Amino acid sequence: MTARVFVVVPAYNEAPVIGSTLEQLMRLNHAIVAVDDGSTDATWEVLSRLPVYALRHPFNLGQGAALQTGMTFALQQNAEIIVHFDADGQHQAADIETLIEPIRCNQADIVFGSRFLRSADALAVPVLRRKVLQAARIINRVSTGLWLSDAHNGFRALSATAAQWRMLSSSYSPTVRA
């Protein structure tokens, strides 16, 4: 039996690209939860025409709140794996299977994607942004002890256990794979 995978897509004013982003995700046959975070453009209209779970915040609460709303919904639907996927089209849906494999194999509870493991992907990020993200990597290392190649991207996967970790005892420590 395959795991119940839910892809959570937070969106704020992404009307021009959200349709094509979700269309590539729909080809994977995973459940998709798109959360319109109070957009003022036509994002909600696009979402409401697609065969996805479309949730809406009445006003912008921020990406973290949109992800939390999507994860809460996915857990209520008995998700076993939750994938975060940016709405802006910068990630490839085909990479989801590779991302979730360590969770499916019980090797990790959290897996982070990276825009910097393949040279071609890294070159797509503007030079100034790469420099800022390099500084963020160092800050992340100092504050968390984890050396991530891309600490600030919107492509990650969590087991249901990791998604619920705040509700569990404080002794739970998820296994992270970067």
Question: For position 174, what pLDDT does the model report?
Answer: 47
Domain that holds residue 132: 115-151
Least confident of 21-35, 56-70, 161-175: 161-175
- Which tens digit of pLDDT belongs to each residue from 133-157? 565 555 655 666 655 555 656 789 9
Question: For position 171, what pLDDT does the model report?
Answer: 45
- Which tens digit of pLDDT belongs to each residue from 34-91? 999 999 999 999 999 999 999 999 999 999 899 999 999 999 999 999 999 999 888 8
Confidence of residue 21 (pLDDT cuts 50, 70, 90): very high
Confidence of residue 112 (pLDDT cuts 50, 70, 90): confident
Specify whether 101 is located in the same domain as 128. no
The CATH number of the domain holding residue 15 is 3.90.550.10
Specify whether 70 is located in the same domain as 31. yes
Confidence of residue 172 (pLDDT cuts 50, 70, 90): very low
Question: For position 145, what pLDDT does the model report?
Answer: 64
- H or E segment to which residue 137 belongs: helix 127-144
Specify whether 34 is located in the same domain as 82. yes
Report the SS3 class of residue 129: helix
| pTM check: above 0.95 | no
Question: For position 53, what pLDDT does the model report?
Answer: 97
Specify whether 161 is located in the same domain as 146. no
Domain count, the chain: 2
The residue among 81, 72, 70, 78 whose CA lies nearest residue 33 is 70
What's the mean per-residue pLDDT of the chain?
A: 82
Which of 12-26, 85-99, 117-131, 164-178 is most confident? 12-26
Specify whether 124 is located in the same domain as 142. yes
Specify whether 98 is located in the same domain as 62. yes
Specify whether 109 is located in the same domain as 81. yes
Better-scored residue on pLDDT, 104 or 128: 104
Task: Provide CB contacts within 8 A for 115, sequence distance 6+.
Answer: 90, 121, 122, 124, 125, 150, 153
Question: For position 117, what pLDDT does the model report?
Answer: 57
